[in-house]
Structures are given as structure tokens and as C-alpha cells.
A and B are shown apart, each in its own frame.
Chain A
Amino acid sequence: MSLLAVHDLSVARGGLRAVEGVGFALNAGQALILRGPNGIGKTTLLRTIAGLQAPVCGTIKMPDDAVAYAAHSDGLKSSLTARENLTFWARVFGGGGIDTALAAMDLAALADRPAGALSAGQKRRLGLARLIVSGRPLWVLDEPTVSLDAASVARFADVVGGHLGQGGAALMATHIDLGLPDAQVLDLTPFRARGGPTARPHGFNEAFA
């Protein structure tokens, strides 16, 4: 089952075209790792696929409500406990399995601690546990392993592997080798946009470009 098909996609950030002509497809059980130098547009590409911004041109095809997006910030409220944070996102996304998710990311002992009292790596793990409770098939991850230690990276790789095994898919930008057995790697360097800034609409329409 195809979870994501991207064709001839170009994305822009702040009026500058970042990457163009990108195309790939992800089926259930597949993982794709995006690589490329800083600033090439990995984050912009992932935000576009997550639906947070519109592509300059090209098409993105996926089932409705398929994406669970995780970026640099984890969307945690520091005055709520780890469990409350996770319960909130589970209810918003209509998912469940909070205890499973806490256990999967080794957070069961910290469940009743306020998120503000967690370390950076623990917060990250809680942010990744949100992916599990969202119940969405396509994980779009932007540098998911930032501030994780080696053991947590391995644990996270297991979680991603389990998600793929259950018919999910994962698209991630990372520089760390997660050790996923059949992950494909896509280097974005050849897709770097050539030429200068894109033509932006002028006048009033610029605000909506």
C-alpha cells in the first residue's frame, strides 16, 4: 500500500527555492532517510509533506490524516506531567496506547513527572512517544535523534522498526545511522535548486504566496 508518493516536488523557504524536482515513493513497511548538507531544505521539505506549507510546484499524494510530524520542538507543556502531555496528544489525534508508548520509550518511571523537570533527552523521548500514540501510519521526522544517547537511539530504532513492521512508514532527516535494515537513503544534494530566487507574486498577493 502506497503511503506517500512525491512527484517533481519543489519547495521554498522565505522566497528562496530550496530543493526542486524531488520525487520518491514510500510504501507500507518502508523507511526513507533524507541526507544532505545543512541548509539544503530537508526541514522545508518535511514541513511541506506534513502539510504545514504549500509546495512551489509538484504533487504530494498520501491518504488523508496519515502524517505524524515530529520536528525540533516536541510540543510539550512543561507544567503538565509526561503522561498528561501524552494523553492530550493521544486524544487530539484520536489514538491511544499511552502506557505502551511510555514503556516503549523507557519513560514509565517518569510518567508523573512534569515535562519541565525532564532532561533534554527525556523530553525528546517523550516527543517521540507522541508518534506512537498518534496512531498515524506515516511518520515524518526531522532530526529525531537530537540529544538522545546511544541507548535511546537504539531504542528509538527498535520503535521505528516495530512501526514499519506493523505496516507503517517513516520519512526522516537524520545524519545518524539508525541501523534500520532496509531503509533507503536519498541524498538531496543533486536536487539543490539552481539559479536565483523564485519569482514571487508582487503586491498584495505576496503575503499569501
Chain B
Amino acid sequence: MIALLLRDLRLATRAGGGFGLGVAFFLILCALVPFGIGPDRAALAPVAPGILWVGALLSCLLSLDRIFALDHEDGSLDLLATSPMPLEGTVAVKALAHWITTGLPLILAAPVFGILLQLPVHAMPMLVLSLLIGTPALSMLGAFGAAVTVGLRRGGLLLSLLVLPLYIPTLIFGAEITRRGAAGMDVATPLVFLAGVTLAVLALIPFAAAAALRVNLR
């Protein structure tokens, strides 16, 4: 499993791997919003938590179809399925690799982009915390969508349609934590719910995604 994780990370950081694309997309999105609704602090600060979270969601979506599609094209997925590693483990490791290459850079870059959107500085810890808890669920749900659409040509759009609705709970609680952090309110309730969503996703989705892969491999 560690070998698979290391290979995926190495592939992502080599030429054509797409490492950093998600963060660049996030940056552009956050830079575009003030152009759209004006740089005024009073207008930007209230929508900043929502924009940051939607931006994180969309950046995450960009690289989802690579999770299994590339391995399917070159036959690696067939070989991984015949390997001693359980397919559920393969799914979990590939979701983890996706999180490290996409989610983690987003978390690290988010405070900087928060400044672009006039998010109050005292809300930054809550923004980072909410992303830290929420983004693993995004990667895992994305792995499920990628598993369902793996054999399809042009599956990327279908993948987005499948996965985005599943992101709604994470988005609601994640943005709520950030909003409450900005308003100086107690964040315990949405924090618990977000953690619950993430834990449930991490526990159940590998089995669903592995089942989808088994159907698609036949």
C-alpha cells in the first residue's frame, strides 16, 4: 500500500502529473471574485467563507477523474485488482494520495486566499481547521465518483454531476464553521457534524467504491 501511495505521489509531482493545478485554480477563482462583486470589504467579507469553500470543492473536482482513469487506461487497474492488496485498500490509498496532492496544498494556501477575499484574520484558524477536517471527505467521495465512471469516455462531466451533490453536507458544515469563526461564535456544533460526515465517508465509501470498480472491471 505504501508502494502505491509513493508511486501516486511521484507520478503527481512528475511532468504532466497535475500537481499544483488545483491550487492554481483556487487562486484564480479567489482572484476573480473581487472583480465580480467589487473589492469592498463590506460586500466581500460576508460571502468569503462560502466562496472559499465552493472554491475548494471545485479545485478538488478538477483532478478527480485522474484517480482511476489513468490506471484503467494503461492496464494498471487490472493488475492492481489481481494483486494481493484488497481493492478497498487501493481505493483508500488512492484517495489519500489525491488528498495529499490536492487537499493539503489547498489547506496550506487557503489563509492567503482568504486575505484576497477580505476574510477577517481571526477567522483563518477556523478556515484551516474546517478544510483540514472536510477535505478528506471530498477526496474519498471523489474516489467513489471516479470508480463509478472509470470505464466511460468523457466521464469527467458525469463524475462532476455525480459527486457535487454528495459534497453538499461537507460544504454546509465547512462554510458554517468558517462563517461562525469570522463572527466570533462558537463552532462546536458544525465542527462535530463535519467530523461526523468525514468519518462516515472514510469508513463506508472505500467499500462502495471497490464494489463499483469490480463491476466496471468486468
Binding site for B on A (CB under 8 A): 47, 50-54, 65, 67-69, 71-80, 84, 87-89, 91-94, 130, 207-208
Contacts and interface: CB of A to CB of B under 8 A. Distances in A.
Given A71-B75, A75-B75, A75-B79, A208 B7 contact: no
Contact of B83 (A72, A78, A87, A93): A93
Interface string B48-76: 00000000000000000000000001111
Contacts of A92: 3-4, 79-80, 83-85
Given A67-B82, A73-B78, A92-B79, 7 more contacts: A65-B84, A71-B78, A74-B74, A76-B76, A77-B11, A80-B11, A88-B3
B128 to A, nearest CB: 32
A52 B81 contact: yes
B155 interface: no
A71 B14 CA distance: 26
B10 interface: yes
A131 to B, nearest CB: 11
10 contacts: A51-B81, A53-B218, A69-B78, A69-B79, A75-B74, A75-B79, A91-B3, A92-B79, A207-B215, A208-B215
Contacts of A52: 78, 81-82, 217-218
Interface of B: 2-4, 7, 10-11, 14-17, 73-76, 78-85, 215, 217-218
B82 A50 contact: yes
B16 A73 contact: no
A93 B76 contact: no
B10 to A, nearest CB: 7
Contacts of A67: 82
Secondary structure dominating the interface of A: loop
A77 B74 contact: yes
Contact of A77 (B3, B76, B82): B76
Nearest to A44: B218
A77 B71 CA distance: 9
A131 B85 CA distance: 17
A54 B218 contact: yes
Contact of A74 (B2, B15, B75, B80): B75
B131 to A, nearest CB: 29
A93 B84 contact: yes
